Chains A and B, each alone.
Chain A
Amino acid sequence: MSIEIRDLTVRYGRTVAVDSVGLDLAGGKIYGLLGRNGSGKTSLLSAIASYRKPSAGVVLIDGEEAYENPRVARRTCFIRDTLDLSDSDRLRSALDLAARLRPTWDQPYAEKLLDVFQIDPGKRVSALSRGQRSAFGVVLGLAARTPLTILDESYLGMDAVARTLFYRELLADYLEHPRTIILSTHLIEEVADLFERVIIMDRGRVIVHDETDALRGRGVTVTGPYEAVTAFAAGRVILGEQTLGGVRAVTLDGHVDPGEIERGEAAGLSFGPIGIQDLFVHLTSQPLEASR
C-alpha cells in the first residue's frame, strides 16, 4: 500500500514530536526508519497506523484518509513495544484474536515462526523474556501478512541469533509475499542491506529519504596537512572534524568525484569512505542551529 503524508504534525501538549512532515512512500517496498531516541519515529509510525490522530496534516493510505478508516485499519498491522497486550494474556488467545481480525492471517506460518523463535504459545505474556516478547511481536507482525506492516523496534532484547532469524524470515516472507513494510531501528549496520529505502528522522523532521544504496558512498573522510584539507573542504558541507598537530581530518557530506579525489591525492590528501552508520551519526548529531 502506498502512503502519502502531508504536513503531518503530532503534538503532545507543548512538545512537538512530528514537525510538519511530508513523505511519499510507494507501495511494495521495505523501508528503514532511523532516528535517535526521541526523534519522533514512534509518533510518525503511530500516525501512519492511525493509532494517533494527527494534530495537523493528513495521512493517506492508497489515497484514502487513514484515521478511523476501517478499510485501512484491517489492512494495516502496527507492532509496537507494548504489543497492545496485557501481561495476563495467553499467547494462544492473542494469536486467535489476530486470526479472527486479519483476513490475511497465515496460521501455519505463525506456527512455523513460533517454532523458529522457540516460543511456547501456552505461556502468558508476563512469562516472556524481553527478547521473546519482541520475537512474539515479529510473529504477530509477519503472520498477519497485511499489505502495510509496521514494526517499531521489534528487535529489542533479542540476541544476535534471534535478530539474524528475524531478518532472514522478514526477507524470505517479503520475497514470497511482497508488501509495504516499515521497520524502525537503531541497529543500522546489520539490517541496512534489507532496506530498499531509508528514512532518517531528527528532532521531529525527516532529514533524509533516499535509496539505501545511494547512501553508501555518500560522504567521505579527508585526512592530510592542515592547509591542504582546509582548502579541499572549502565550500563543502563539513559533518565532523578532528585536528592532531598539523594534521586535519574532516568528514564531508555529498559525493566527491574521482577526478577530485585524484587531484587531492596528488596534493597529499587521503580519502576514506564513511559507512551508513557513521553517516547517520554525523547527520543526527549536528547542533540545532546547524540543522535548521
Chain B
Amino acid sequence: MFHDRSPIYLQIAEGIKNDVLSGALEEDEQVMSTNQYAAFYRINPATAAKGFAQLVEEGVLYKKRGIGMFVSPDARERLRAERRERFFADVVAPMLDEAKRIGIGVDEIVKHLGEK
C-alpha cells in the first residue's frame, strides 16, 4: 500500500488528492476519520492525522467541528489547475529527456500521439 521512499503522510495526502481529482471523492463529501483511515490501512493514527492536517492546510479539506472533515467545494478545480501547471515540467520534460537519450525525435512522438 505505502512505500518506504517518502513519508507516509505525504503519500496519504497525495492519494486523497487523486481521489478528489478523479471524482471518487465529491466536493463537500465527508472523508474517513483518521481512526477509520488508520484501521483500514493499518497505520499509526498520528501519521494519518498528519496527512489530513496537511490537506486542511492546503485547503483541499475543511473541518466541521465535532463532525469530521470534508472535501472543499473548490478543491477539484484548484488541484486541476496546480497539476496542469506542473504537467509539462514534471511529466513531459523527463519524457523528452529520455527520448533524446535514445534517439527518438519529437516528430516521431507527435506521430505516435496522433495514433492514440
Interface residues, chain A, CB within 8 Å of chain B? 29-30, 167-168, 171-172, 175, 189, 193-196, 212-214, 216-217, 273, 275-276
Please report the C-alpha to C-alpha distance between residue A149 and residue B39 in the assembled complex, in whole angstroms: 20
28 contacts between A and B (CB under 8 A): A29-B46, A167-B42, A168-B42, A171-B39, A171-B44, A172-B39, A175-B35, A175-B38, A175-B45, A189-B4, A193-B2, A193-B8, A193-B42, A193-B44, A194-B43, A195-B44, A196-B44, A196-B46, A196-B47, A213-B7, A213-B8, A213-B47, A213-B50, A216-B5, A217-B5, A217-B7, A273-B4, A273-B5
Please report the C-alpha to C-alpha distance between residue A194 and residue B44 in the assembled complex, in whole angstroms: 5
Known contacts A175-B35, A212-B47, A213-B50: A194-B4 contact under CB 8 Å: no
Please report the C-alpha to C-alpha distance between residue A216 and residue B44 in the assembled complex, in whole angstroms: 14
B4 to A, closest residue via Cβ: A275
Please report the C-alpha to C-alpha distance between residue A167 and residue B43 in the assembled complex, in whole angstroms: 10
Q: Smallest distance from the beta carbon of B85 to chain A beta carbons, Å?
A: 17
A-side interface mostly? helix
- CB-CB contacts below 8 Å: B1-56 with A: 2, 4-9, 35, 38-39, 41-47, 50
Q: Smallest distance from the beta carbon of A274 to chain B beta carbons, Å?
A: 8
Tell me if A216 and B45 are in contact (CB < 8 A): no
Tell me if B7 and A193 are in contact (CB < 8 A): no
Once A and B bind, how many residue pairs between them come within 8 Å at the CB atom?
A: 50
Tell me if A216 and B6 are in contact (CB < 8 A): yes
Please report the C-alpha to C-alpha distance between residue A171 and residue B38 in the assembled complex, in whole angstroms: 8
Tell me if B35 and A171 are in contact (CB < 8 A): no
Query: What residues on B are CB-neighbors of A214 within 8 Å?
Result: 7
Please report the C-alpha to C-alpha distance between residue A212 and residue B4 in the assembled complex, in whole angstroms: 11
List 16 additional A-B contacts (Cβ < 8 Å) besides A196-B47, A216-B6, A273-B4: A29-B46, A167-B42, A168-B42, A171-B44, A172-B39, A175-B38, A193-B42, A194-B42, A212-B47, A213-B7, A213-B47, A214-B7, A217-B6, A217-B7, A273-B6, A275-B5
B44 to A, closest residue via Cβ: A196
Query: What residues on B are CB-neighbors of A167 within 8 Å?
Result: 42
Tell me if A175 and B39 are in contact (CB < 8 A): yes
Query: What residues on B are CB-neighbors of A194 within 8 Å?
Result: 42-44
Q: Smallest distance from the beta carbon of B40 to chain A beta carbons, Å?
A: 11
Please report the C-alpha to C-alpha distance between residue A193 and residue B43 in the assembled complex, in whole angstroms: 5
Please report the C-alpha to C-alpha distance between residue A175 and residue B43 in the assembled complex, in whole angstroms: 11
Please report the C-alpha to C-alpha distance between residue A246 and residue B4 in the assembled complex, in whole angstroms: 29
Query: What residues on B are CB-neighbors of A175 within 8 Å?
Result: 35, 38-39, 45
Query: What residues on B are CB-neighbors of A168 within 8 Å?
Result: 42
Query: What residues on B are CB-neighbors of A30 within 8 Å?
Result: 44
Query: What residues on A are CB-neighbors of B7 within 8 Å?
Result: 213-214, 216-217
Please report the C-alpha to C-alpha distance between residue A237 and residue B101 in the assembled complex, in whole angstroms: 32
Q: Smallest distance from the beta carbon of A41 to chain B beta carbons, Å?
A: 20
Tell me if B47 and A193 are in contact (CB < 8 A): yes
5 smallest CB-CB distances across A and B, nearest first, come from A273-B5, A275-B4, A213-B7, A196-B46, A193-B43
Out of B8, B35, B41, B50, which one reaches A216, CB within 8 Å? Answer: B8
Please report the C-alpha to C-alpha distance between residue A168 and residue B38 in the assembled complex, in whole angstroms: 11
Which of B4, B5, B8, B50 gathers the greatest number of chain A CB atoms within 10 Å? B4
Please report the C-alpha to C-alpha distance between residue A213 and residue B6 in the assembled complex, in whole angstroms: 8
